[in-house]
Amino acid sequence: SKLPAINPTLSLFSAKYLVKAQSGYRLINDLKVVLPILALLLLAIGVYVARSHRRALIGAGLGLATSMLVLGAGLLVFRGVYLNSVPDNVLPANAAAALFDTLVRFIREGLRTILVVGLIIAAGAFLTGPSVSAVRTRRAFTSGLAWIRQSGEHAGLRTGPVGTWTYAHRKGLRICAVALAALIFVFWGQPTVALVITLVVLLLVALGLIELVGSRPAPQPATAVQPRGWRRPGPPGGR
């Protein structure tokens, strides 16, 4: 009972920068939704006004991925500067490293996620282009689906009216599938690399099913068109 009260403290940084740090954090927290949307709008406008939309989209995807690599390298450099600037008598090196890694954990995860998204956008734009490798890839994909469809038809499987409707609306179904995947990614709370890869795989499966289920309508038999004013000849000897 005679022991004095002990209130241990651990110094993390100088208190004179606390107000500035809190103000900066509030600003970043307020702009965390506005800045990504603004960046996407600027990228979309740049792709729209470009002469070649596909090349612009490839450049946007690669530029997005490259910027994430640069930011990741900047984090590594800043981590080294931070660890070298913290005295050992204030905070041990292991504790300082753990503190920094905890603070930037979500930033690193976001950088990895956007890096993968940029690469996927660039790859998708490239594979839809007229290059030889892109055409061969699409042709191999289409041939594989055609083989599966023919095997099913030989086994007696028919899609019927559903296949005809799917073939007639295949472009709209593709747009809906891509838009749904994009909306899930945008409105997901904390998108990760695993989520992006899962969405891409599911999107490819959906696009493959659209191509697989869709079947051309059966050609209509040609009907003879009688010339105007033509009359069927009567029986021989008739009037």
Mean pLDDT for 27-39 is 72
In a domain, 138, yes or no: yes
Domain that holds residue 207: 130-217
The structure tokens listed for 177 are: 């599938």
Domain count, the chain: 1
| pLDDT value of position 227 | 58
In a domain, 57, yes or no: no
Per the CB < 8 A criterion, the answer to whether 205 and 139 are in contact is no
| pLDDT value of position 12 | 57
Tens of pLDDT along 71-115?
Answer: 889 988 988 888 888 777 777 888 888 888 888 888 888 888 889
| pLDDT value of position 10 | 58
∠93-99-103 over CA atoms, to 5°? 145
pTM: 0.70
In a domain, 59, yes or no: no
In a domain, 211, yes or no: yes
pLDDT-derived band at 175, boundaries 50, 70, 90: very high
The count of other CB atoms within 10 Å of the CB of residue 43 is: 19
In a domain, 209, yes or no: yes
In a domain, 158, yes or no: yes
| pLDDT value of position 176 | 93
Per the CB < 8 A criterion, the answer to whether 82 and 76 are in contact is no
DSSP letter (8 states) at residue 50: S
| pLDDT value of position 202 | 94
- Reduced to 3 states, what is the DSSP secondary structure of residue 185? helix
pLDDT-derived band at 180, boundaries 50, 70, 90: very high
In a domain, 66, yes or no: no
Residue 170 to residue 164: CA distance in whole angstroms: 10
The structure tokens listed for 90 are: 């204030």
In a domain, 99, yes or no: no
